[in-house]
Structure 1
Amino acid sequence: MESLPEETSSSSSTTTSGGGVGCGGAGEKLPIRPPIQPPSEKYSPLDWSAYFDQESDVFIPESENVFHVYTAGKEGPVVFCLHGGGYSGLSFALAARKIKQEARIVAMDLRGHGKSSTENDLDLSIERLCGDVLAVIKTMHGDSPPAILLVGHSMGGAVAVHVAAKKVLPSLAGLIVVDVVEGTAMASLMHMQKLLSNRMQYFPSIEKAIEWSVKGGTLRNIDSARISIPSTVKYDDSKKCYVHRARLMETEQYWRGWYEGLSEKFLSSPVPKILLLAGTDRLDRALTIGQMQGKFQMVLVRHTGHAIQEDVPDEFAITVLNFISRNRIGPNGVEIPGLRRPMQSQQ
């Protein structure tokens, strides 16, 4: 990531030769340099409501699990978005502004993240996460959900692939996986605890958390950081500061399960699919062969970080909408061989 321009100090007044403050030698006014935006404003939180239409809680029957979702759009297929570990549903906020013009979008806070609350926030096993997603879809849409395009980033991408592989979602019409590949993910697991422990753990304010996420390279889009980061931290009364909402360091036992066998599950999914990557070095052998055989579309997005949907939200949204158009995914889906279709009601 290119370093952000540092703030430079400047005088509060404009000086010129011979004419005094603010005046040219011939009495002309020089253009006034806009004041540098104070850090407290530059990194101040932005409200989600300019991007999503509403937020709501989904209460799962016969449990104490409540999942927070952000929704937008009124017609078309449902773009169901799953964020990465440590992120939240607001990771898709900037992209939602464009997607909602032609489709519906739902972005949920996964277990242990954002504003969701569950019986066990530390159970991030792949089976539990898949069950959560299917429970939210069923609670929101009943037994006959509309056409659903699953979109998942990083850990959420793994969850999306596993949900698709179960072949229990009758209206699944497509799959978009964002910057996660089995080979690279598995190789990085041995370094994950160190990476998590080395990141900044405590923030005196939400503004400082936003600033850290941008200057530290987690996100490259300041506006997206101002929307999404506040939902990834919470105030700790005992420490009198903000801490990370997701306790990822305590979930190591589940990490391998997210990614093991991911490439084959992705390749065998019978729906149209895209693998959206920030670099070709993230392709493993199985996916390289699958891509050459035309089993999926690969899209490379350069000059971006890991969170493609946040760093270049318009490009991400266009990719999603083009995928829907190219595969003719309507409000009620398309016929996909190999998937169980909902029973048609008798007239």
Structure 2
Amino acid sequence: MSDFQRSFARAHLSRLPPEPPAIPDEQQDATREDSLDIRPSSPNDSLSSASSASSTGTIVPSPSRNLFERPKGAALKSRSAPLPWEDFFSQELFLTQKKPSETTVHHAYLNPPTSSGPLVVTHHGAGSSGLSFASFTAEFLKLIPDAGVLSLDARGHGQTTTTDSTGVALSVQDLSLTTLAADVAFVVNAVKTEMKWTALPDIVLIGHSLGGAVVTEVAHERLLGNALLAYGVLDVVEGSAMDALRSMDTYLSTRPKSFPSLASGIDWHLKSRTIRNTISARVSVPPLLQESKAHDQWLWRTDLASTKPFWEGWFIGLSKKFLESRGGKLLLLAGTDRLDKELMIGQMQGKYQLQVFPEAGHFIQEDQPAKTAQVVADFYKRNDRSGLVLPPKVDDLIKQGKLKPASHK
């Protein structure tokens, strides 16, 4: 190559951004987990950059590792090893709600806020659990350490159980939108009692998919009163949700009925790209499964097909309620094609904040926990009223002699 050619190449190549080498998914995940510590020293400490690295594609190999070396069996195994909830939350709560016909023991994970911090209450989607927000929680508390996060298991999901008056588990659950919204209000107020708070902190509700419809219902019915500061909905709008329901039966028929182990369940979620973040899958998938009596397979804990009678009721009227309810509003989507007409008009009128993550799948808070946490943290700061100073009342100024009353002729 001549001097002229070398000079020409340098001039043009210098304008291009550097490209990282392409690495197969399994090797990429193993590399990250070998070189990064994924566990925080305490629930409110930073979780390590592993969770965000697995979704952003930035890789820093350890000095002792060959970047292109095929991962060993132990590294591949660690990719699907379950992670404990204690790595993300400081405590779990079991809150009993008794009614004449049934008793529900609500299960929730909690990182309490400080005396001045807000409380983010998260609600997962159908078939998931409170640990769907585990990685998000670790990232969010890095940004707002004074905040708390309460992540609940909806009835029929996770470790929340409902029994009849004789103590037998209910085979048919009431998963109507009204009931699920009332459950959120009960859990929040029960946590207030359990933690001996004198009053509820400022609350930000964040719901994914079905959870988005639930938190919108809570806001619309004002079930948390003036404590509700703002609410956010992750990857669900009325129009696209109703369209998706038509293919739900087909989806359920194609996914595995069982798994030989928890690790294989985690691996399926990653290989199918249902969840695209290894760290999040390792903590969020285990509570979705339960071991069968035969002890040789793991079955889905929630029978999604049995929830079909409630599907339409979850989403009908969602867009209207989202736009009308009081409080700050956030809509976070994986693609702008999900917006329906009503939300498009509302967005153009500035009625809510819209954020799009085209690189994420449906489980935005799991695929992109760091970015989701940053958006929610900024959303909270924009709606924070703790620093708001109101002008003094006229009557008070008159009493203090700082203002003379108006004379009437």
- For the criterion TM > 0.5, the same-fold answer is yes
SS at match of 2:246: helix
Q: Tell me by how many angstroms 1:3 deviates.
A: 11
* 1:280–1:300 Cα contact (<8 Å) kept: yes
Q: 1:291 to 1:141 in 2, by over 3 A?
A: same
Q: Tell me by how many angstroms 1:238 deviates.
A: 4.6
TM-score (norm 2): 0.72
Q: Tell me by how many angstroms 1:98 deviates.
A: 2.8
Q: Tell me by how many angstroms 1:184 deviates.
A: 0.3
- 1:151-300 to 2 correspondences below 5 Å: 151-170=206-225, 171-238=227-294, 240-300=296-356
SS at match of 1:290: helix
Distance 1:90 1:229 in 2: 8
Residue-by-residue CA offset, 1:138-186 (whole Å, 9 max, x unaligned): 2122594221111000011111111111023111110110000000001
Residue number in structure 2 paired with 1:317: 373
Alignment equivalent of 1:116, drawn from 137, 157, 160: 160
Report the AA paired with residue 86 of structure 1: G
For the pair shown, the structure with the greater C-alpha radius of gyration is: 2
Unpaired runs of 5+ residues, structure 1, are 9-29, 336-347
Q: Which has the higher contact order (CA 8 A, sep 6+)?
A: 1
**2:170 maps to 1:138:** no
SS at match of 1:65: strand
Residue number in structure 1 paired with 2:148: 104
* 2:113–2:119 Cα contact (<8 Å) kept: no
* 1:60–1:139 Cα contact (<8 Å) kept: no
Q: Tell me by how many angstroms 1:188 deviates.
A: 1.3
* 1:77–1:330 Cα contact (<8 Å) kept: no
Alignment equivalent of 2:204, drawn from 128, 137, 149: 149
Residue number in structure 2 paired with 1:93: 134
Residue number in structure 2 paired with 1:343: none
Residue-by-residue CA offset, 1:172-213 (whole Å, 9 max, x unaligned): 110110000000001111111111121111100000000000
Report the AA paired with residue 107 of structure 1: S
Report the AA paired with residue 146 of structure 1: P
* 2:180–2:214 Cα contact (<8 Å) kept: yes
Distance 1:172 1:110 in 2: 20
Distance 2:188 2:253 in 1: 34
From the two aligned structures, give the one with the greater helix fraction: 2
Unpaired runs of 5+ residues, structure 2, are 1-21, 29-63, 164-169, 391-409
Q: Which moved more, 1:64-73 or 1:140-149?
A: 140-149
Distance 1:6 1:55 in 2: 32
Alignment equivalent of 1:36, drawn from 72, 88, 91: 72
**2:109 maps to 1:70:** yes
Q: Tell me by how many angstroms 1:52 deviates.
A: 1.1
**2:66 maps to 1:46:** no
Distance 1:334 1:145 in 2: 20
SS at match of 2:103: coil
TM-score (norm 1): 0.84
State the Cα RMSD in Å. 2.5
Distance 1:251 1:243 in 2: 17
> What is the number of residues matched between the two proteins?
312
* 1:173–1:334 Cα contact (<8 Å) kept: no
Q: Tell me by how many angstroms 1:64 deviates.
A: 1.6
SS at match of 2:139: helix
SS at match of 2:162: coil
Distance 1:334 1:237 in 2: 60
Q: Which moved more, 1:148-157 or 1:321-330?
A: 321-330
**2:84 maps to 1:60:** no
Residue number in structure 2 paired with 1:340: none
